[in-house]
């Protein structure tokens, strides 16, 4: 169970990082 929670946690972190990276890139192109 602990391993499953850890896996989900890292998946969420990866997803948030990807979204932030894409939005930062779009923001730079926009400005």
Can you give the pLDDT at residue 15? 95
At 16, list the tokens: 């948030």
Question: CA dist 24 to 17, 20, 21, Å?
Answer: 10, 6, 5
Give tens-digit pLDDT for 1-31. Answer: 566 778 888 999 999 999 999 999 988 876 6
Query: H or E element: which one contains 28?
Result: helix 2-30
pLDDT at 2: 67
Please give the pLDDT value at position 20: 95
Q: How many other CB atoms are there within 10 angstroms of residue 12's CB atom?
A: 10
pLDDT given at position 13: 95
Single pTM value for the model: 0.56
The Cα–Cα gap between 15 and 3 comes to 18
Give the CA count within 13 Å in the CB-facing half-sphere of 26: 6
């Amino acid at each position: 169970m602990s391993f499953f929670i850890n896996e989900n946690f890292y998946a969420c972190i990866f997803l948030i990082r990807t979204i932030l990276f894409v939005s930062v890139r779009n923001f730079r192109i926009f400005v």
